[in-house]
A and B are shown apart, each in its own frame.
Chain A
Amino acid sequence: MTADLILTPNMDRPDDIYAGLLATHEGLTKDASDALNARLILILMNHIGQHDVLAQALQAAKSPEKG
């Protein structure tokens, strides 16, 4: 059975998590922010680990209006 990507609210402290994301980027140049985002994506992809879920996530990111 393949796992489904979670697209319903799943973060325990959404406002804090979002503020943390912005704070991490604060003061960085565009290049440094892009590099940070790339590292973050790779770290999260590894944490998720499952190819099926990640494939759904890539699709959802590319076409948010679908699904």
Chain B
Amino acid sequence: MNKIFEVPLYPYRRHADQDALSPAHHKVAVIGAGPVGLAAAVDLAQQGVEVVVLDENDKVSFGSRAICFAKRTLEIADRLGLGAPLVDKGVRWSIGKVFFDERKVYDFNLLPEEGHKRPAFINLQQYYIEEYLVKRAREIEAGGAQIALRGGNKVAGITDHGDHVALSIDTPEGQYEITADYVIACDGAASPVRSMLGLDFVGRVFEDNFLIADVIMEADFPTERWFWFDPPFNKGQSALLHKQPDGVWRIDLQLGWDIDKEQEKKPENVTPRLKAMLGDDVEFSLEWVSIYTFQCRRMEKFRHNRVIFAGDSAHQVSPFGARGANSGLQDTDNLAWKLKLVLDGLAPDALLDSYDAERVFGADENILNSSRSTDFITPKSEISRVFRDAVLDLSEHHAFARPLVNSGRLSMPCTYDGSPLNTPDALPLGPARTRPGSPCPDAALGNRFLLDGLGDRFTLLTINTDAPDSLTESGITVTRLALSDQDDVTGALTARYLGDAPAAVYLIRPDQHVAARFRAYDDTAIRAAIRCATGQDIQA
């Protein structure tokens, strides 16, 4: 059977750039065609920015890799035009069970909040997301967008000349050069671009190894997340069982530090471990096995003049909490509209520094959360194991201990408190969850959803109050979305955007984060907020 990750999707083809007398110039070059690089390229291209994607391979990634995609990612995918296929293919789950030693200590239901178009999480192999992104790239290319995927193109050299970047690219037919206004490096945790530029990547290495296996089986395990602390089949360690589409199950087994990775990866060593976990009578086959050691670290800065890092190349976290790919997509969500405005001459180059400020803040939040999960799952001292076990013992009988059990704090979008793009909150009675810097929570409006009405442009959301249908400030056009109590059939809009205020005006960024909010439309204040949100006032 031909698996999708064995099919070349963007095989090497000779391009006219390779025969050009002087290097061809591109607006943006994205290095790396993983989920983050592809999302960046699709986002830019569908906003009218010319982009070329370079990757030394020509296929989606091998094995499931990232499997848990959070609501915010699905909302970003909606904006990119691929939310529906992801959700249709993905497995939804909301029940989690926690086991300690031989017994189940408790279960939980994520009980997703009502009034959102997208579920809290889906499980889906990373290769499907990449496949859908490649399809989407082809689709918008056919519609006239300038987006090129170049497989078999390995970036071998990079030089930032101040006002442009030069790239040397190795291909099966030799080397060629291109130039670009900006480069987005999405080339993963081992980022060759980062190494070529001699940039730092500091943080904490966790001394542990995890075996991950994708197992195909027809088993009647329910669609739930099962997490074991110190199970009988993996004494002193942890284990995770999670369902993916196509009858594929993801199993993570903690192995400890002092192991022989090559030996442990062999099927004759993996199979007995899985039999001990699943039972002797369960038939299964191994699709993919990998062993990983993880680190929690980030670059000091994600922006280096015209070379901008996004995803794992910029920051790495432990896998607990699904904060890797999800945060990478929040990076590109944050970056694409800013780069578009800068390239169009509508915002100063300094707007890109706010990408650095906001996403470094997000990365620190993710690193903090995933480090804490790791410290709980893998206690680093005798006393921390004593407390960990005490929490688990108590959690079986007492509800108070359950919030302390930490098998991963699942990815939530970051609120950019303190961002230079925020205007101070001018809606004192408004809910805290939609204060400036917040990602807009969705709200059901009869048979439609709020986020579908926001799109990828600046929006002026007005609730129960009047405002112009559109306005233009410093070349930036803002379109009004007018809503009122009559649209709020479920009460979600009031709860999430009004609180105790009778009316509100929100200035919402293209990445659907709140830039400013007011009690009513005030032309001077709104124009100042637009300038602030587009970096017009930042001193370069």
> Residues of A at under 8 Å CB distance from B?
34-35, 38-39, 41-43, 46
B residues less than 8 Å from A35 (CB atoms) = 386, 389-390, 393
The distance in angstroms between the C-alpha atoms of A39 and B393, with both chains bound, is: 8
Q: Would you give the shortest CB distance from B411 to chain A, in whole angstroms? A: 24
Q: Taking the complex as formed, is B404 at the interface, i.e. its CB lies under 8 A from any CB of chain A? A: yes
For the residues of A in contact with B, the DSSP-based class is helix
Give residues of chain B (378-409) contacting chain A, Cβ–Cβ below 8 Å.
383, 386-387, 389-391, 393-394, 398, 400-401, 404
Q: Would you give the shortest CB distance from A50 to chain B, in whole angstroms? A: 14
Assess the A46–B400 pair: CB atoms within 8 A: yes
Q: Can you add 12 more A-B contacts, CB < 8 Å, to A35-B390, A42-B387? A: A34-B383, A35-B386, A35-B393, A38-B387, A38-B389, A41-B390, A42-B390, A42-B391, A42-B394, A42-B404, A43-B400, A46-B401
A residues less than 8 Å from B389 (CB atoms) = 35, 38
Q: Would you give the shortest CB distance from A38 to chain B, in whole angstroms? A: 4
Assess the B386–A43 pair: CB atoms within 8 A: no
Among residues of A, the one whose C-beta sits closest to the C-beta of B388 is A38
Among residues of B, the one whose C-beta sits closest to the C-beta of A46 is B400
The distance in angstroms between the C-alpha atoms of A46 and B394, with both chains bound, is: 12
The distance in angstroms between the C-alpha atoms of A35 and B391, with both chains bound, is: 10
Q: What would be 24 A-B contacts, judged by CB atoms less than 8 Å apart?
A: A34-B383, A34-B386, A35-B386, A35-B389, A35-B390, A35-B393, A38-B386, A38-B387, A38-B389, A38-B390, A39-B390, A39-B393, A39-B394, A41-B390, A42-B387, A42-B390, A42-B391, A42-B394, A42-B401, A42-B404, A43-B394, A43-B398, A43-B400, A46-B401
Q: Would you give the shortest CB distance from A51 to chain B, in whole angstroms? A: 13
Among residues of A, the one whose C-beta sits closest to the C-beta of B390 is A38
A residues less than 8 Å from B383 (CB atoms) = 34
Residue from B383, B390, B393, B401 with most neighbouring chain A CB atoms (10 Å):
B390
The distance in angstroms between the C-alpha atoms of A34 and B401, with both chains bound, is: 18
Q: Would you give the shortest CB distance from B386 to chain A, in whole angstroms? A: 5
Number of interface residues of B (CB under 8 A): 12
A residues less than 8 Å from B387 (CB atoms) = 38, 41-42
Residue from A34, A38, A41, A43 with most neighbouring chain B CB atoms (10 Å):
A38
For the residues of B in contact with A, the DSSP-based class is helix
B residues less than 8 Å from A41 (CB atoms) = 387, 390
B residues less than 8 Å from A38 (CB atoms) = 386-387, 389-390
The distance in angstroms between the C-alpha atoms of A34 and B390, with both chains bound, is: 10
The distance in angstroms between the C-alpha atoms of A39 and B387, with both chains bound, is: 7
Give residues of chain B (510-529) contacting chain A, Cβ–Cβ below 8 Å.
none
The distance in angstroms between the C-alpha atoms of A38 and B393, with both chains bound, is: 11
A residues less than 8 Å from B386 (CB atoms) = 34-35, 38
A residues less than 8 Å from B390 (CB atoms) = 35, 38-39, 41-42
Encode contact with A along B401-427: 1 for CB under 8 Å, 0 otherwise. 100100000000000000000000000
Among residues of A, the one whose C-beta sits closest to the C-beta of B400 is A46
A residues less than 8 Å from B393 (CB atoms) = 35, 39
Q: Would you give the shortest CB distance from B143 to chain A, in whole angstroms? A: 53
Among residues of B, the one whose C-beta sits closest to the C-beta of A38 is B390
Residue from A34, A42, A43, A46 with most neighbouring chain B CB atoms (10 Å):
A42
The distance in angstroms between the C-alpha atoms of A42 and B383, with both chains bound, is: 13
The distance in angstroms between the C-alpha atoms of A38 and B382, with both chains bound, is: 12
Q: Would you give the shortest CB distance from A33 to chain B, in whole angstroms? A: 10
Give residues of chain B (29-65) contacting chain A, Cβ–Cβ below 8 Å.
none
Among residues of B, the one whose C-beta sits closest to the C-beta of A34 is B386
Encode contact with A along B103-125: 1 for CB under 8 Å, 0 otherwise. 00000000000000000000000
Among residues of B, the one whose C-beta sits closest to the C-beta of A31 is B386
B residues less than 8 Å from A43 (CB atoms) = 394, 398, 400
The distance in angstroms between the C-alpha atoms of A38 and B394, with both chains bound, is: 10
Give residues of chain B (217-241) contacting chain A, Cβ–Cβ below 8 Å.
none
Among residues of A, the one whose C-beta sits closest to the C-beta of B391 is A42
Q: Would you give the shortest CB distance from B303 to chain A, in whole angstroms? A: 35
The 4 closest A-B pairs by CB, nearest first: A38-B390, A46-B400, A39-B390, A38-B386
A residues less than 8 Å from B394 (CB atoms) = 39, 42-43
Q: Would you give the shortest CB distance from A35 to chain B, in whole angstroms? A: 6
Q: Would you give the shortest CB distance from B476 to chain A, in whole angstroms? A: 42
Q: Would you give the shortest CB distance from A4 to chain B, in whole angstroms? A: 24
Q: Would you give the shortest CB distance from A37 to chain B, in whole angstroms? A: 8
The distance in angstroms between the C-alpha atoms of A43 and B393, with both chains bound, is: 12
Among residues of A, the one whose C-beta sits closest to the C-beta of B393 is A39
Q: Would you give the shortest CB distance from B416 to chain A, in whole angstroms? A: 24
B residues less than 8 Å from A39 (CB atoms) = 390, 393-394
The distance in angstroms between the C-alpha atoms of A46 and B395, with both chains bound, is: 13
The distance in angstroms between the C-alpha atoms of A43 and B391, with both chains bound, is: 10
The distance in angstroms between the C-alpha atoms of A50 and B429, with both chains bound, is: 26
The distance in angstroms between the C-alpha atoms of A42 and B404, with both chains bound, is: 10
A residues less than 8 Å from B401 (CB atoms) = 42, 46
The distance in angstroms between the C-alpha atoms of A46 and B398, with both chains bound, is: 11
